[in-house]
Amino acid sequence: MNALVVARFTLLEAFSRRLILAATVLSALFLGLYATGYYFMYGLASAANQNTADRSSPVIAATVLTVLGLYAVNFLASFIALFLSVGGVSGEVDTGTLLAVMARPVRRSDFILGRWLAYALMVAVYVVGMVGCVLLLARFLADFDPGDPVRAIGLMVLSGLLLLTLSLFGSTWLPTIANGVACFSLFGLAWLAGIIEWVGDSLGNTPMVQIGIAVSLLVPSDGLWRGASYYLQPSVLVELLPNGRQFLPFGSMDPPAVQFVAWAAVYIAVLLVGAVRVFGRRDL
């Protein structure tokens, strides 16, 4: 119950600091700009292919525009997850707020779990809302039908929770600025590993693929996005693009391995337990 109380006050704090309002306004601006670009670019692709027998260009254009838009949403969700939790503990320690909170009958584990629950709820709502809006726009503008949007959303939420937990864990023992630098660097490293793996797979370079996989196991966020991108693509795309890996450098034509998804879930659990244990021994 104490964890739920902490989560409630964390959500109220987000509202009072206008974090929710700012995220809503900026998300609306993003969706408006995205819809405008989607409308014109898909229109050009359809017009260029109108008088030919080949109908693959509109399908390819709709898939690329949709997956690219959700790629941007995944980046935004990752940044939100990191920004929310980068000072979730260290910032409260620096301001002395935790001295007042811990004076009450609240265990340190309750504080960490409450913070995580509130942040996780905000990240999950953001991902579900933004992905839903992008897919509705794609459906309306191009009659786009994703393969399995439920699994895609689940993997994107899991990616956000992974970065959130990583940042919260770092916040229990690192200063806010140092934690921010470390977490954003790891996020960038995971993204670079995904590009390296894609290039290595396209060129048939096994060492590059192995490097990408190794780094993806260290920080699985980009691997989870690539798994989500597979479920966003319509099944007809596989028939139209047998060499789809070269066409979607920011996505994947292969489903994620069950072991990899399980590893990401265990990764989150281990980091959360680690955050509780480290914060339990920290001197305030």
Domain borders along the chain are 2-280
* pTM listed for this prediction: 0.91
pLDDT, averaged across the chain: 86
Of 219, 221, 199, 218, nearest in space to 208 by CA:
199
Integer-rounded Cα radius of gyration of the chain: 21
- Per-residue model confidence as pLDDT tens digits over 108-122: 888 899 999 999 999
C-alpha distance from residue 51 to each of 47, 54, 240, 278 (Å):
8, 9, 19, 65
pLDDT at res. 166: 95
Considering 64-73, 203-212, 273-282, the range whose residues carry the highest mean pLDDT is 64-73
Buried b / exposed e over 222-260, threshold 16 CB at 10 Å, is bbbbbbbbbbbbbeebeebbeebbeebebbbbeebeeeb
What confidence tens digit (pLDDT) does each residue in 65-111 have?
999 999 999 999 999 999 998 988 887 776 666 666 665 667 888 88
Rounded Cα–Cα distance for residues 91 and 10 (Å): 13
Q: Who contacts 169 (Cβ-Cβ below 8 Å, separation ≥6)?
A: 271, 272, 274, 275, 278
Q: Could you report the per-residue pLDDT of 169-200, keeping only the tens digit for each?
A: 999 988 989 999 999 999 999 999 988 988 88
